[in-house]
Amino acid sequence: MRIAIGSLQCESNTLSPVPTREGDFDRAYGRAMCDRVHVMDLLEGAGAEAVPTLYAHALPGGAVAKGDYLRLARGVVDALPETGLDGVWLYLHGAMYVEMIGGGEAHLLRLVRQRIGPRVPIALALDFHANNEEELMELADVICAFRTAPHVDQVETERKAMRLLLRVIEKKLAPRPRMARADVVIPGDAVQTAQPPLDRIMAMADEMEKLPGMLCAQVFGGQSWVDAPFMGPSMVVTHERDERLAQSCADQLARAFYDARYDFTFLIDALEPDEAIRRALEADEAPVFLSDSGDNTTAGAAGDSAFLLNRLIALGARDTLVAGLADEAATLACYDVAIGDTLTLTVGGSLDKKSERATVAGRLTGRGDILGYTGALAGKSATLELDCGITLVLTERRTAITSLAAFQSISLDILPYKLIVVKLGYLFPGLQALSKKAVLALTPGGSTERLEDMGHTRIRRPMYPLDDHFL
């Protein structure tokens, strides 16, 4: 038995003007990619031979440039033998959007099908925030995804997709996933799977997966920062052979999601920027994490806005760490002076012309390569103690600081700070464990939490909250 494996991922944000390029992807080809996925022991246990193709993961960002995407897609497709394959396992995101193409996952699967034909089964492992196109239901045999947001089951999802693929091959099944949509868009940071109302809907899906012959019943929250007709929540159910049952289950999940639309709320304080800063500074606990949600790099925003930094300065915040702010020129300027030197910099607005800038002065206290989103180093960084009493981390490239390890990579001890500002929405589990309190600032930017502020023109209508009571 021979099974091809591949992984091509980027969560796109079409509100961002910063295109994602080939160089933004952490890549491994052929045998080198086997260490990047978590299914090799399952293949060995099944006596199967792995046919590795490409592993390529990027920080969420703007739409992927067409030519760059096509080169990456060929890295998967050209490594596939035209004959002799028993199955294909792909670990994708589900919300990749490509300039002049649209959904990157559906396009990739079309290329794969052209290469291997219609009969070889394909299993997909996707992110909870996938925006699924109808075409995927005909191109893939099994579609499953993370069941957690914040995500903690990525590895288990990889392995689940492989186990289901092996089951399909061994039982000679030909399943067809079925999908139903919920025309409801909830800010991503108000959609957490372990909390009401989504916990009840996830429990429904769990019960459906116990039905005889059921392969996977999946709730997808969608990625709201993509202006496309297929943006938004979808429910995808795969049964071994009963497509009518699969469709019925998907319809039930979609209706439950729609019916719960008023019950989705932020699980932490979500406030206008100045009030969010005051609430964080007045907290008795420490450290307090403050999310700059409108410039959230894990949602694809540019990460270069100094809006919240300016508000912190204006409100006299001290004992505060701002981590981080993407500005290549300002970061590299810190490498032209010595540690301990003072300098004045204009920071921000280097990637997105809508982003605010700030002029700051302070002393350089540290620099070095910072750990990035994919686990690889993400380029140069510089740390400054500003004269106003704020510590600022600058980064050469867009960077998502999601873990303590990222701070440790630049020898920055965050525990002495009362307030830690990050360009995130909800906190990733590692930071959540450190946080005594979390506050979300409803800042402007490419990852705004308000659907009505996103400027979408191509999404399906009617759509809650823009429209309501349409079922």
List pLDDT tens digits, range 103-131. 999 999 999 999 999 999 999 999 999 99
In angstroms, the Cα distances linking 196 to 192, 205, 222, 262, 301 are 8, 15, 17, 11, 27
pLDDT of residue 99: 98
Please, are residues 400 and 429 in contact by the beta-carbon 8 Å criterion? no
Q: For the segment 385-410, what is each residue's pLDDT rounded down to a tens digit?
A: 999 999 999 999 999 999 999 999 99
The per-residue pLDDT for 76 is: 97
> What's the pLDDT tens digit per position in 69-86?
999 999 999 999 989 999
What does the pLDDT average to over 188-204? 92
In this predicted structure, the answer to whether residue 218 has a pLDDT above a threshold of 90 is yes
Closest CA to 397 of 417, 415, 374, 420: 374
The region of weakest confidence among 224-228, 301-305, 451-455 is 451-455
Pairing mode of beta strands 97-98, 25-29? unpaired
Residue 464 has pLDDT above 90, yes or no: yes
User: Among residues 447, 443, 427, 406, which one has the least CA distance to residue 300?
Assistant: 447
447 — pLDDT class (breaks 50, 70, 90)? very high
Predicted pLDDT at 298? 95
What are the residue ranges of helices labelled H in 14-135? 40-45, 66-77, 104-116
Q: Is the pLDDT of residue 423 over 80?
A: yes
Cβ density class 105-139: b for 16+ within 10 Å, e for less:
bbbbbebbbebbeeebbbbbbbbbbbbbbeebbeb
pLDDT for 376 equals 83
pLDDT at 471 over 80: no
Q: For 7-34, what is each residue's pLDDT tens digit?
A: 999 999 999 999 999 999 999 998 999 9
What is the SS3 assignment for 396? coil
C-alpha angle 443-446-449 in degrees, rounded to nearest 5: 55
| Nearest-5° Cα angle at 14, 9 to 17 | 105
189 confidence band (pLDDT: 50, 70, 90)? confident
Rounded-to-integer distance, Cα 99 and Cα 256, Å: 34
Position 452 scores a pLDDT of: 86
CB atoms within 10 A of CB 296: 29
Strand partners, 29: 54
- H or E element that contains 200: helix 198-209
CA atoms 41, 54, 150, 218: torsion sign: negative
For the chain, the average pLDDT equals 96
pLDDT over 70 percentage in the chain? 100
Residue 169: pLDDT above 90? yes
The encoded tokens of residue 245 equal 């049952």
Tell me what the mean pLDDT of segment 431-460 comes to.
94
**282-340 pLDDT tens trace:** 999 999 999 999 999 999 999 999 999 999 999 999 999 999 999 999 999 999 999 99
Per-residue pLDDT, 470: 82
Res 323: pLDDT = 95
